[in-house]
Structure 1
Amino acid sequence: MAGETIGGAFLGAVFGELLKVVTDAIRKACKLKSELEKLKSTLESINSTVDEIGMLNRVLDLQEQETDKLKEEIIKGMELVRKCSKVKRFSFNRVKYADKLIKLNQFLEKYCNVDMQTQSARDNKKILVGINSIQKILSGSRVSYQVLDGPCSAPDPPEITPGLDAPLKELRMELVKDGGMQVIVVSAPGGAGKTTLVKKLCADNEVKDKFQDNIFFVTVSKTPDVKVIIQRILQHKKYHVPTFETDESAINYLEGMLKEIGQKAILLVLDDVWSESESLVQKFKFKLANYKILVTSRSQFPQFGSGHYLKPLNDGAALTLFRSALIPQNGELLFFDENLANKVRCQSAVVNTYILRVCKGSPLALTVVGRLLCGEPAVVWQSRVREWDRGVSIFSSDTDLLHCLQSSLNALDDDIKECYLDLGSFPEDQRIPITALIDMWMELHEWIEDGLSAISYLHRLSNRNLVNLVMARKNASDDGCYNDHFVMQHDLLRELIIHQSMSEPIERTKRVIINISGKNFPKWWSQQKGNPIHARLLSISTDETFSSRWYDMTAPEVEVVVLNLRTNKYTLPNFMENMGKLKVLIITNYGFLPAELSNFSLLGSDTIFNLKRIRLEHVLIPSFGIQMNNLHKISLVLCNVGQAFRNSTFQISDAFPNLLEFEIDYCNDLEELPDGLCDIVSLKKLSITNCHKLSTLPEGIDKLVNLEVLRLASCTELSELPDMVTELSNLKFLDISDCLTIENLPTQIGKLRSLEMLCMGGCSISELPHSIIDLESLNVVKCDEETAYQWENYKFVLTKLRVEVLKDDINLNWLRKCHF
């Protein structure tokens, strides 16, 4: 029996055993996985609290009978979870056990958020009573003693905190100055050192001089209780601590107490605030002079200003922290190898950062790895380095780091978590085009309906500091164009994504993410022997030494293939021909020269009949002499397309007869559009941008009767917008921004009765044609100041018109990692 096995252990051990049993059940693909994952999330969030209570009970010799009920429920819970792991998919007992798991979860949340906090408050009062008694006994004597810190005293910072001097100085200035923002937010991913930074702030002499004994440090965590937080603050100031019926009554009481403090400066530190607790911060805002709130969170809170983002440590600071973690308590460092810690020489004679690179500048990772290697001989160091060199995840050797960062993923809704895990398909340290994510998500996830909903998800991830959004144009995307929008992810979080995605057996995982160097294929792949994988997403990244000699693979369920390459020549793998469910293909070359693709014709195979979207970046396209009847969208970015368009005897209308969207961006050898393009009457979006050699549009463009979007931005040699464009009766959006040589709009542009938005910033239009008065649907015109006044003269007729004057807002920093 579980009770007999663990009967003599203290509370933390019993609790830890339950967490282990739940984790094992999830790993075994239990049919109650959703309920078990929620239970696991609760257990992880209260684990440290349970350990602390158990430890204090032992150290202070407090009554443990009050935790007997908790231990009893935990032991019952272990039996319940073991039974749940045996429940079959269609068992009638499934609902019964699901209900029991939900009730166990609710009990644990209530016990730790209500009962345990009440006991803690009572025990603190007992301790204070004892201290007061001791003070009376020792009154007048020469015996020295130390009074315990209050419940809201800031913990002492670590002795060694490299890399925090600059953010400390910046935050100190913000805190000690009069006025400024009342709420200051410090945000970063888990383990980045946010709490360490604010501990140092609270111990800083200038900050202490400013706020004196009115610094309140409160750890909020995932499931905060406003009443308990306020009771602790009152207790810290030795005020009477009443029992509050509601959060509102507690807040009002606290406001009254703070007003009694008068004109003295007050600092409230809310540490580890989760995104769901945004309203909690609002509750603690009061109209008081010299009152500031310092928040640390993994999420950003834009309503409180831009905030302070804590960056990863640089190599120097990282090495200092790593070395400090290596020193054991006796102060004798057994082994330290500068080369292994900082760099290792590869066969190519290129010096690469190693352990520091593995830790990605994360203070938590550096500390964890340092402790892992602390006191170990050289052979252990070398073994670890070899493991990481072979691609073994840093998370596989440590649970503290995994649990810390894993909680950021567990806090996400299921939908947004699924989208976030897809980001591991792209290489580290590279900008991920949002257009590629949209293509992927719209076919993989039914809840992503369009680019706007995808952007919404990315903003939510950005606010949680899980990604960084890079936007080349502030005014872009009003029309649904996201060509200049990118995402970057923290390297350590990307590794966590891959670890999470590949944690299940390869046959069952939903995402297969593979990195190949030279001929070093994963062992499971080379030994697959025809056993199919059932992933929906397949990502393969190869380096400069890869030879394009593929092992066979059976992957009948794959819907999205992402190929990341770095070679000048690349052969598409034959096994793609058997992917009957393939819908999206994304090929990106990160090498210096455009990659020449071969075996491209397999995409025209009858077996790949579901392919809807193709995105090619920085490749040389040999020919479009294939037919893909179901292709809806093709995107060509930084590609050499001239040869394919000029030399092909196969018209593009025959290759893609049902195409809906055609995008060409930064293709410098594009001089004219391919023959047959105007015969694709199904086309709804045509986007030709940053193609500086394109001088004319084809004569038959008026045949694109279903065209709704025509984007020609930054085609600097395009001499005119031909009159045939005015025959596009369904056109809603027209963009000729930065087409420097276009001097006139078509005389009959007024025939575009469906046109809703016109972008013409950077054009040299000297005079608007009178027919614009017939643009009855026109809502927005974006233009330069010189042209804006002309449009203003027509607003008495075009009553719905809004004229937006554009300013230079282009940021081309993203191009630094692109090659032409």
Structure 2
Amino acid sequence: MAHASVASLMRTIELLLTSNSPMQSLTCDHRGDFSALHEKISSLEVVVKNFEKNNISGELTDLEVQVKEVANTVEQTIQLGVTEVVLANDENLRVKAHERLSDRLQQVAEEIDRVWKESTKIQDKGKQASKESTVQEFPSSSKDIWNVKNNMVGRDDQRKRLVEDLTRSYSGEPKVIPIVGMGGIGKTTLANEVYNDACIRSHFDVCAWATVSQQQNVKKILLSLLRSIKVDKVFTGSEAELADMLQKSLKCKRYLIVLDDIWKSEAWDAVRLCFPSENKGSGILLTTRNTEVARDAGTKNLSLQMDLMGPDESWSLFKSVAFSSEALPYEFETVGKQIADECHGLPLTIVVVAGLLKSKRAIEDWRSVAKDVKSFVTNDPDERCSRVLGLSYNHLTSDLKACLLHFGIFPEDSDIPVKNLMRKWMAEGFLKLENDLEGEAEKCLQELVDRCLVLVCKKSRDGTKIISCKVHDLIYDLCLTELQRENIFMMNDIVLGISKRGNLSMQKMQPFKRVTGGEIDYCPNGLYRALLTPVHRLLRDHDNNDLLKRTRSIFSLHLSFSSRVLKSELIHFKLLKVLELRHIEIDNFPLQILSLIWLSYLSLQCRENLDIPPEICRLWNLQTFIVQEVQTFIVR
């Protein structure tokens, strides 16, 4: 959104004005220009922030489009000019670079003046709207959301039935019990409750969990199961070798396997032979939307069909999220029940809308949301759910929207380490300008959790820190849909191909495709995922140079060859902020990285101790530098 673009520009200028920044000494001749820009942009930021706060339709206005385009262009112009000054090899080149930077600063100042005049026309209106929309906000307690997560509403009978079916004495092949239901109905939540039940844990010798997803990756499933069984071990090998390891780990043991989110019968057929069949008393729990999968895989008469919640259960779940242990005023109960009813018994929709209202204590806000939810008239439950999730997204602030959309970078159903995720948010500039950026990142993550938009996968032993997280696949769909709108940032795939000389090269950027497995069919030679600063389609240059200038983050998703392709081409991404190379192992530090002076986050993998050149200090903006040495053990 516009505010996010203006905030990013503010960070860049403040960096150049900071007294302890090495860039400040190189750009001191332009300090007056930067200070004047900073003053204008500070005023513009206040207007845009207030204007955006009162526009929750999700649609960009003409003013916001103008401000966003100008802010992005100005930031890119300043960064390119400063880069020329910093990287100039001799005094003559540096003088010419300073002259070009002066000319560019005059041009961008005129652009800022133009949008400032436009913004002042709505300033009074924006201030008035801001006053009218002010409501009392109550800080949410993280303990409340854990209680909601750990205590299901309205599914206790189903949980007890599954525990009894799994622990009842049984001879023959392992029982296969499918949990069947539409997306968002709570299949994974129910399976997780059963998986962690005390009776289950004491009954089975081994418990293991794997998420399958739409495009199953058998090797990934096997690795997930092995890691569940032997948490501290690192596994490698072919698919056949991993299957053999899994069989040996389960042999002569009473085991429980959970295969979450199976879409096709082929996925079950691909892994079923990995589970020893002679073990009496073992069990396999499946979750699926597909009744055909349940019929093909399930033991007769043991399938569990999950139905939508009734009105009482829906209200109970809504109330537990929106109010927790607070006393409930009558007028809120009346409107809250209307909202819960309009969610038509789908748990994901209920908790997301309740999470949206959790911190709002103005009855007008509740009535407005009730009106919006009621307007989603459709007989398609999936479409209704998508619209309600979109409503919750539109109520997020710019920084929270950017942080949520960032989950769309990762493959579907990924468990994401929180520490690295928050560091990327910091490097991308998604967060508000605060001294304690890490604290601000934790606050944003907790708010997304409190709104039931992000799921906690693992917590610290004392329960105070989130270690890893993910998003529900319907939220993931929402992220991809919003990414396609290109309001906050663009996401492209950089496909690797073979050049005429037979070498690998970054041949082209193209609109991203959904990634669910480890192997990516449409780019067998390798794939990078890139985030770009958005530009309106009518103003966009379609040449590679424009794309390179606007690329601010690169992540490796799948690489089949060595890192040679990087060393010749990284230098062209002059404004890169984030570079994460997790799928290749390098022998030598790529010196081209030293020219990426705006880099804030760098993550590399190496085969052995990596020599870091002392010139790394040139990367003045670097906040996070991760070097991971790959040590692989084969466990048999």
Same fold by TM-score greater than 0.5 = no
Higher RCO structure, 1 or 2 (CA under 8 Å, sep 6+):
2
TM-score range, shorter chain: 0.3 to 0.5
Q: Give the TM-score taking structure 1 as reference length.
A: 0.27
* Structure of greater Rg: 1
Q: Higher helix proportion, which one?
A: 2
